Structure 1
């Protein structure tokens, strides 16, 4: 799973990297401790024109009467994405990229203490998580929301957690966004083992209120 992540690259770097037009509602960057229910930067494609815009991290199915009406769907399992009622339509026609510099996972020591890890690309470049999105509207309230697609971890990552976000290679972004036709299902797999690095970080990040570059520093 992925319950926290970081995005530290500045806006101009992201717009150039994703070749996307930025909207005015983007969250402030850098952000070292992004949690579910907050706005996150996403990339979606409209007939090949990419937009970098904010969406609520926490997918809202159309039948939710309020944003808190059901489970908080911040992750979507790749194995069931096309079948689950909440996600199946979005899987076909509303896919997005969710930029990230890295994400956090936790293990436990012998005493049950939560030990945080930071997982990132080898060169600390921005990554793109596979995502799905949905517009939700009820009683005049409208929200655009998203979820990160996850899959089974491979290799050394399994030491930390059995699930990881689907990290898409740059060459696959267009296919996931629907700009190159059909066939995006083949992309829902774990990244190659050499595509991710991880290190322990201080327990300060255990609090969702913590912030600052020190959260990603090696312990």
Structure 2
């Protein structure tokens, strides 16, 4: 799964990666959590006269997809991830997978390794080349009973590759730059024609870094969250712990 991620590259670097004509400034974020606003990129935008870039736009949405048919948001589970294996069939994601695919820029993500009854160990998974990348995402706009609109998104996950499997059995899908346009082009490409994108990154793409459990708390947002720490002794056991996720609202 993917329950926390980071976006610390400069806006101009993200704009270059995602072929955006413009991108509003944003501060580095070291502990992005569910329900928080995240940037995404969508395709299929109106043509710009004289433009030599793909027709894409950046939006700010809430992390945690709400399908358009939901009647009571407070009773609906927080959909921060969608499984690649079933995303084209699940009622919650089927429409977004067909018509509203997006890219979620990132510079890394956190995962927790559970070792029996021992305290879970947080790891920061960062790209070995140090460059930003994009997760496969899905977007949905929810229309509330009062007429308000909420743009929301989820991150697609798949089975972990061999290097990440010892930490967790799932990982977010990384869309290679060569596949950005194909993933975003929902008018031409149906879910079956982009299914090959929904696989794990190669085994050497991410390098795991054991980090402090300070990342468990949403309130901790500094760069020190990514500092390496030594693994805890095996005999140091306690209650299972993991990422402290905020409530739906």
1:49 equivalent in alignment to 2:55? yes
Q: Aligned Cα RMSD in Å?
A: 1.7
Query: Matched residue of 1:55: which SS?
Result: strand
1:127 equivalent in alignment to 2:133? yes
Which residue number in structure 2 is paired with residue 7 of structure 1? Answer: 7
Question: Larger Cα Rg: Structure 1 or Structure 2?
Answer: 2
Deviations 1:101-152 (A, max 9, x none): 0000001346521210000111221111000001111112211110000001
User: What CA distance in whole angstroms lies between the structure 1 residues aligned with 2:115 and 2:197?
Assistant: 34
Name the CA shift for 1:66/1:30 in 2 (closer, same or farther; >3 Å).
farther
User: What CA distance in whole angstroms lies between the structure 2 residues aligned with 1:76 and 1:22?
Assistant: 29
| Alignment equivalent of 1:36, drawn from 16, 34, 39 | 34
8 Å Cα contact 2:159/2:170 also seen in 1:
yes
8 Å Cα contact 1:21/1:52 also seen in 2:
no
Q: CA deviation at 1:68?
A: 2.7
8 Å Cα contact 2:110/2:125 also seen in 1:
yes
| Alignment equivalent of 2:214, drawn from 204, 207, 214 | 204
Which residue number in structure 1 is paired with residue 51 of structure 2? Answer: none
Which residue number in structure 2 is paired with residue 190 of structure 1? Answer: 200
Query: Matched residue of 2:165: which SS?
Result: helix
Deviations 1:63-91 (A, max 9, x none): 22344330100000000000001110111
Which residue number in structure 1 is paired with residue 106 of structure 2? Answer: 100
Deviates more, 1:142-151 or 1:43-52: 43-52
Name the CA shift for 1:197/1:57 in 2 (closer, same or farther; >3 Å).
same
1:114 equivalent in alignment to 2:124? no
Which residue number in structure 1 is paired with residue 143 of structure 2? Answer: 137
Name the CA shift for 1:213/1:190 in 2 (closer, same or farther; >3 Å).
same
Query: Matched residue of 1:174: which SS?
Result: helix
Q: 5+ unaligned residues in a row in structure 1: which ranges?
A: none
So what's the TM-score if we normalise by structure 1? 0.93
So what's the TM-score if we normalise by structure 2? 0.82
Name whichever structure is richer in strand by fraction.
1
User: What CA distance in whole angstroms lies between the structure 1 residues aligned with 2:100 and 2:187?
Assistant: 14
Q: 5+ unaligned residues in a row in structure 2: which ranges?
A: 46-53, 230-249
8 Å Cα contact 2:174/2:200 also seen in 1:
yes
User: What CA distance in whole angstroms lies between the structure 1 residues aligned with 2:75 and 2:20?
Assistant: 33
8 Å Cα contact 1:23/1:53 also seen in 2:
no
